[in-house]
Amino acid sequence: MKMLSGRARALAVLLGLAMATAAAAQTPSQPQTGNSATKSSSTTHHAATHAAATHRSLLNPASLNQKAPDTYKAKFTTTKGDIVIEVTRASAPLGADRFYNLVKNGFFTNVIFFRVVPDFVVQFGINGDPKIAAAWSHANIDDDPVVDSNKRGTITFATAGPNTRTTQIFINLNDRNSMLDDRGFAPFGRVVDGMDVVDKLYSGYGEQITQLQGQIEEQGNAFLQKNFPELDSIKTAVIVAPAAPAKSATSAKKPAASTTKKPAASTP
């Protein structure tokens, strides 16, 4: 056998290393399964845990009793665009506190605008989950004195009579709704951005859904989506300013179409 010289042996070793390196570079790397997969799983788990906790809190209205800031804004992202509502607690303290807790805890997510009457009101606030709707159906708050007037763009809790406000709310679409002031409907805020969006919400069903509120509460969004598929809805609602919560508050149904027209219990 022919023996290689020292230089030849060195070249052979270098050639072998180069070939090995080239082969390794063309070998597909194994998918990373460690940290990235664990992080993704952890994020998903956290989101699911948070959603479950939110759902549990919405089933216990008495636990959602934070005092609202003196002023705050809530942003509603809807199927027609964004609506921003500014709330002044001094206008209706109990109503402002209830609205703050509902928004902050995700009550309005996927809630449908079931009553849209042009030149009158847009009404919403029945949760799409029948279990949550039932939990809040008798979570009444006391009435606030009427400080502001039900002018266009103001937002007010609907009611079924004295001290029966729960979660249903309406936005006034004209200044003539000041007629509701003497009937105890106390505005707690107003639309400061997106009133054009409010005006575009689907109104083709008129008042025909107003008297079906019992069925909406019992069957949830499924009832409305099946029978009134054109209705618009809220995708998300969040507190956008200020971010910090305040202290606990003392707790606190709805406006009705009168012979002269009024939102319905729940209605004016």
The CATH number that applies at residue 164 is 2.40.100.10
If phi > 0 it is left, if psi is from -120 to 50 it is alpha, else beta; for residue 31 that is beta
Task: Provide the 10 A C-beta neighbour count for residue 206.
Answer: 12
Label residue 184 exposed, middle or buried (CB < 10 Å: 0-12, 13-18, 19+): middle
| Residue 266 belongs to a domain | no
pLDDT at 196: 98
pLDDT at 25: 37
Q: What SS3 state is found at 122?
A: strand
Overall number of domains in the chain = 1
pLDDT at 218: 97
| Residue 133 belongs to a domain | yes
| Residue 101 belongs to a domain | yes
| Residue 268 belongs to a domain | no
pLDDT at 249: 53
- Peptide bond before residue 242 is cis, with ω within 30 degrees of 0: yes
Sign of CA dihedral 13, 15, 18, 24: negative
pLDDT at 51: 61
pLDDT at 42: 54
Which residues, including other chains, have CB under 8 Å from residue 260's CB and lie 6 or more apart? 179
pLDDT at 266: 59
Give the distance between the most distant pair of CA atoms in the chain: 115
CA distance 192 to 6: 87
Give, for all 268 residues of the chain, the pLDDT tens digit: 444 444 444 444 333 433 333 333 333 333 344 554 555 555 555 545 556 666 889 999 999 999 999 999 999 999 999 999 999 999 999 999 999 999 999 999 999 999 999 999 999 999 999 999 999 999 999 999 999 999 999 999 999 999 999 999 999 999 999 999 999 999 999 999 999 999 999 999 999 999 999 999 999 999 999 999 999 999 999 999 874 444 555 444 445 554 445 556 657 7
| Residue 13 belongs to a domain | no
| Residue 67 belongs to a domain | yes
| Residue 138 belongs to a domain | yes
CA distance 264 to 268: 5
CA distance 20 to 27: 11
pLDDT at 16: 42
Q: Of 226, 255, 244, 205, which Cα lies nearest the Cα of 69?
A: 244
Give the residue carrying structure tokens 């805890």: 105
Q: Which domain holds residue 176?
A: 57-241
Cβ contact 241:83 at 8 Å: no
pLDDT at 264: 61
Q: Which pTM was predicted? A: 0.76
pLDDT at 242: 78
| Residue 81 belongs to a domain | yes
Q: What SS3 state is found at 190?
A: strand
